Structure 1
Amino acid sequence: MARAGEFKGVVELFTSQGCSSCPPADAELARLVKEGDVLALSYHVDYWNYLGWADTLSSAANTERQYGYARTLRRNNVYTPQMVINGQKHTNGADRQEVDRIIKTLSDEGAGLTVDVAAKIDGIGLKISVGAGEGKANIVAVYFDETTEVDIQRGENSGRAITYHHSVREMETIGMWDGEAMSLMLPASVMSAHPGRGCAILLQVVGKDGAPGRILGASVIEPGSST
């Protein structure tokens, strides 16, 4: 379970196995995962697959999410490695000092995670609790692999074996929040459909065009949890 302030923020890295600039950012994400102060997720995009190596973890949905952030952040393009922090700011994912600075600045400005979110598995299923706050937001479940080692055989990173952390495999909106405290119970089949994977719960503002925006709260169920 995570309450507002337990995680300093949510960091989302957009990366690719075919991007020669990405391994340092992948290592940076691994550091954040290990330290545990933030909820760190890795989204492998598919638009570099034509360069000679199709990213084995990539998906069109991950690319769509990044383009959605581009609209929210009023950018004309996307890039890798890009880290988006709390759905509000972005920077080169390999820039450790800048990532840490943005996380601290958002927290100091009251733009960090301000709504309590808790998630747990019990004998009935998946229980999610969201505290009171302001505004409206979606409750989003993000399923991820803890670690995945990939031997890259072609492309810009040919010959490298890289261990990726918290690689997102699927996302789904499972509820809506209107500012009032609420609880949501989902059947055990929700997690059993994703065996061995972790599940991040994001309370995220979504624009009228469906683009992801500010993340208000977050919690995580670690890989290997079971009902």
Structure 2
Amino acid sequence: MELRFFSRLAVVALAMPALTAAATADGTRPLGVIELFTSQGCSSCPPADALFEKFATKGDYVALAYHVDYWDYLGWRDTLSSPDSTDRQYAYMRSFGTRSVYTPQAVINGRIHVNGAKRDDILDAFDELNKAEQGLSVDVSVKLTGESLVIETGSAASQSSAKAHVVLVYFDAPQAIAVPRGENKGRTVTYVNAVSDIQSAGMWHGKAARYELPATKIATKGGFAVLLQAVGKDGMPGPVLGAAIYRKSDGNRI
């Protein structure tokens, strides 16, 4: 579903420095970041949710599902929705220079948005960014050590001009939800990596860095992702330079 007019494809035109590639602690780097904006009250969203689950469980993408709340008036309040998720989508809208938000929307590496139900569009977006050398270019690793969460990042080639926010995105464990009312009445949909909280963990200034945070919050979550994300002068989200994910259920991190 869409609100008013939207542009199907947009690129965030933020000038970013060339970045180095240093090995992470476990030697891996995700293929990219998919941020899906979805809703239990959106009749167009179940196919996107099913496709998203495939990307999320494949293991080589950082996939995060943000449940927005602006479709709740259609007869069913999304049990996973939050104003923060809606705010993040509107922030992307302003970054992309588009006139509205829509669901299902997939934001790729913080740079391009496409229809989240179209697998080919998502893969084409990654191909486009990789050809333009706008894939993930900074290594990020996460690990739990005792009572601490440790985040380590790589460095940028031009340390004087590179900077980004270290963003923690917590998500719930997979859950099947029956929708008794609204546009998806009678459906039961499995939701994975549904975002429950977003917070800033610090600033990255282009150099290899280490961040240590209390791990107490993780006990109540299904996992979390770390996004190394550039931010415009107006505070709007920009390109994702690096990312990692930790799923509590299997301890998998990429």
SS at match of 1:215: strand
Partner of 2:95: 72
SS at match of 1:158: coil
1:125 corresponds, among 118, 124, 148, to: 148
Which whole-Å CA distance do the structure 2 matches of 1:160 and 1:27 have between them? 13
| 2:29/2:139 contact within 8 Å kept | no
- Greater strand fraction, Structure 1 or Structure 2: 1
Which whole-Å CA distance do the structure 1 matches of 2:96 and 2:75 have between them? 30
2:130 corresponds, among 107, 114, 130, to: 107
Q: Shift of residue 191 of structure 1? A: 2.5
Q: Shift of residue 108 of structure 1? A: 2.5
Q: Shift of residue 65 of structure 1? A: 0.1
Partner of 1:144: 171
1:41 corresponds, among 47, 61, 64, to: 64
Is 2:49 the counterpart of 1:26?
yes
| 1:87/1:214 contact within 8 Å kept | yes
Q: Shift of residue 190 of structure 1? A: 3.9
Superposition map of 1:62-101 within 5 A: 62-101=85-124
2:200 corresponds, among 168, 173, 192, to: 173
Uncovered stretches (5+) of structure 1, i.e. residues with no partner: none
TM-score normalised to structure 1 length? 0.94
Partner of 1:203: 228
Partner of 2:19: none
Partner of 2:33: 10
SS at match of 2:43: coil
Which whole-Å CA distance do the structure 2 matches of 1:53 and 1:40 have between them? 25
| 1:205/1:213 contact within 8 Å kept | yes
SS at match of 2:240: strand
- 1:68-95 superposed Cα distances (whole Å, 9 cap, x missing partner): 0001111010000000000000110011
Which whole-Å CA distance do the structure 2 matches of 1:110 and 1:141 have between them? 25
Deviation larger for 128-137 or 80-89: 128-137
SS at match of 2:172: strand
Q: Shift of residue 188 of structure 1? A: 2.7
Which whole-Å CA distance do the structure 1 matches of 2:99 and 2:73 have between them? 21
2:75 corresponds, among 52, 63, 66, to: 52
- 1:196-222 superposed Cα distances (whole Å, 9 cap, x missing partner): 420100000112222111000001111
* Equivalent pairs, count: 223
Which whole-Å CA distance do the structure 1 matches of 2:99 and 2:45 have between them? 21
| 2:227/2:242 contact within 8 Å kept | yes
Which whole-Å CA distance do the structure 1 matches of 2:26 and 2:163 have between them? 18
| 1:2/1:218 contact within 8 Å kept | no
Partner of 2:239: 214
Deviation larger for 96-105 or 15-24: 96-105
Q: Shift of residue 162 of structure 1? A: 0.5
Q: 1:91 to 1:5 in 2, by over 3 A?
A: farther
The CA RMSD over aligned residues, in Å, is: 1.6
| 1:5/1:113 contact within 8 Å kept | no
- 1:33-87 superposed Cα distances (whole Å, 9 cap, x missing partner): 1222211110000000000000000000000000000011110100000000000
Q: Shift of residue 109 of structure 1? A: 1.7
> One-letter code of the match for 1:51?
L
Q: 1:3 to 1:208 in 2, by over 3 A?
A: farther
TM-score normalised to structure 2 length? 0.84
Q: Percent identity?
A: 48
